[in-house]
Structure 1
């Protein structure tokens, strides 16, 4: 099982040496997966520890004045590291202290002292340290002095274009889930624990399981056909979902994911739920009262059933 550490200071996490991947790794798309696979393979070949170094919050979110969408939660990212065979994850707190650290100090304190790196793997455009002063060339020079080799991972191409988190976010924002899936290597999913809501959906004939996103900013908003997985099960249960601020009734400050599972009976509160986004049905809208909202919810349910290969007439039952 992978071990998680958060601090730069502390004993060496890999006394026998390590092969290290460094990056933000939002979404763990196919490019990230290829990098982690290479790190795992090289660590096995060298007989040392495969390690991943990442940052929370994401660096681009730390510097942005506007909310920045992300593809995966911290929990999802860590689980992906574990599945990729990383034995140690150093998830550094991206804050004012870290941004003030020079690139040279990052190499000395993190890669050398904390990780005893023998190889360091990054993307070809990787920059790090105060004012992004460090790059691959600096890693190569300092690696020669400190006993590690800097290596870059070639970009993974799909349909002639580089796989990147920004490309995935763009496709998801446009509702192009079928286009995003090959880049991610899996469908786009949001996970979370089901929490209590105001139970308005139940009175309208559409009880929902609610997931509060809190500080996570989603790249998708609107009404969707979805498949749901409960606990550790695969995403197979069909449903319709809303992700937004509910402008018609009880508007919320932070986007809320509300999922209606078709033909489901049972208590979902406090269960972990994974929601796979299959197709976008429409944008979120404000309606003139509950009657108009309820009529649209029935239309959304019919459309979602049809998209998911179910009988849309069952939505009227």
Structure 2
């Protein structure tokens, strides 16, 4: 599966950071994100040529009752810099799971850790192939 889109990083709810998985919330500027779900992906930041590994969540955040709009939130593996206002290109690699309502913040944190672990494993296999 390959699908690409671009966006500019905008302010979000900062929940990902509180859960230990900071995300870049994208305002899409080109292309169309795939169906709602959690995906492994490659992320290329403006001004960079080498992509970074990432995990992207697309869709409403069903675990939180106050979010009903469709969002694109990218967690860039091993990145800790400021991204607000930067342009980001995302290339989808593989669907990890559907977006589902989880039983609360604890379950969401555990599931997010598993998503990132699986995404890293998928992307690392592609690097050695």
With structure 2 as the length reference, what TM-score do the two structures score? 0.87
Which stretches in structure 1 are left out of the alignment for 5+ residues?
A: 1-176, 178-186, 311-317
| Bigger relative contact order, structure 1 or 2 (CA pairs below 8 A, ≥6 apart) | 2
Give the structure 1 partner of residue 12 of structure 2: 197
**1:10-49 aligned within 5 A:** none
| Gap change, CA 1:234 and 1:278, over 3 Å in 2 | farther
Is 1:188 aligned to 2:14, yes or no?
A: no
* Cα displacement string for residues 8-41 of structure 1 (whole angstroms, at most 9, x for unaligned residues): xxxxxxxxxxxxxxxxxxxxxxxxxxxxxxxxxx
Give the structure 1 partner of residue 38 of structure 2: 223
Which 4+ stretches in 1 moved above 4 angstroms? none
How many residues align structurally? 124
Give the structure 2 partner of residue 161 of structure 1: none
What CA distance in whole angstroms lies between the structure 1 residues aligned with 2:96 and 2:112? 11
Give 3-state SS (helix, strand or coil) of 1:265's partner: coil
**1:112-191 aligned within 5 A:** 177=1, 187-191=2-6
CA contact (8 A) 2:23 2:74 kept: yes
What CA distance in whole angstroms lies between the structure 1 residues aligned with 2:20 and 2:39? 18
What CA distance in whole angstroms lies between the structure 2 residues aligned with 1:218 and 1:212? 11
> Larger Rg: 1 or 2?
1
Give the structure 2 partner of residue 23 of structure 1: none
Give the structure 2 partner of residue 300 of structure 1: 115
What CA distance in whole angstroms lies between the structure 2 residues aligned with 1:251 and 1:273? 26
Two-structure CA RMSD over aligned residues (Å):
2.0
Is 1:258 aligned to 2:112, yes or no?
A: no
What is the deviation of 1:255? 1.1
Give the structure 2 partner of residue 245 of structure 1: 60
What CA distance in whole angstroms lies between the structure 2 residues aligned with 1:228 and 1:250? 29
CA contact (8 A) 1:212 1:255 kept: no
Which stretches in structure 2 are left out of the alignment for 5+ residues?
A: none
Return the structure number with greater strand share: 2
2:26 is matched with which residue: 190, 202, 211? 211
With structure 1 as the length reference, what TM-score do the two structures score? 0.37
